Amino acid sequence: MSLGIRAIEPADAEACDAIVRGLPYHFGLESGRAEAAAAVRTQTGLVAVEKGEVLGFCTYVPRFESSAEITWMAVTSGHRREGIGHALIDALAAGLEREGRRILVVLTVSPSDPGEEPDDGYQSTRRFYEGAGFVLTRDLPREWDGDTAVMMVKPLGG
């Protein structure tokens, strides 16, 4: 695979939207799909590209001088578990470290959230982030309607 990681561009928005539509379990709410679509059009981010095709993306926002938060991230369903997500996070972390940031944060659904999950549900999302160096930090039960959010943190730099 000759994967390239580069800054997200306006022309990438429709490809990112298609990735989101292809993951109905993780992006099942229209409001979430609309928020992701807005983020790829307005926030800073990265895309993973192979042979001109966008295979994954992440968007992020600086939170404080020393931190940033991944707001949306997805890899096309046909290319998950191929290292694309890790390549995006590695590139993002390296760029944030160059800016002097020390912490990268992401929110996802907490393991304490009640309810059944399919095999490729949020437990696999948490395992992915843990494999990328994030640790579970704390539940944020009032952050989202209907799900319990958990904050995961990745320390940056030496």
- Catalogue all structural domains in the chain, each as residue range(s) with its CATH number: 4-155 (3.40.630.30)
- 13-22, 23-32, 148-157, range with the lowest pLDDT: 23-32
The single residue listed with the structure tokens 């928020």 is: 35
Tokens of 119: 């095999």
Question: What pLDDT score was predicted for residue 1?
Answer: 63
Q: Bridge partners of 7?
A: 46
pLDDT digits 0-9 by tens, 57-110: 999 999 999 999 999 999 998 888 889 999 999 999 999 999 999 999 999 988
**How far is Cα 129 from Cα 154, in angstroms, rounded to an integer?**
9
CB 145, CB 101: distance < 8 Å: no
Looking at residue 29, the DSSP 8-state letter turns out to be S
Strand-pairing partners, residue 149, are 109, 140
Q: Report pLDDT for 31.
A: 82
Of 119, 156, 158, the C-alpha closest to 135 is 156
Output the pTM of the full model: 0.91
Q: Are strands 103-109 and 67-75 parallel, antiparallel or unpaired?
A: parallel
**Residue 158: pLDDT band by 50, 70, 90 thresholds?**
low
Token pair in block for residue 34 = 């609309």
pLDDT digits (tens, 9 = 90+) for 19-59: 999 887 777 777 888 999 999 999 999 999 999 999 999 99
Lowest mean pLDDT among 1-10, 37-46, 138-147: 138-147
8 A C-beta contact, residue 94 and residue 83 = no
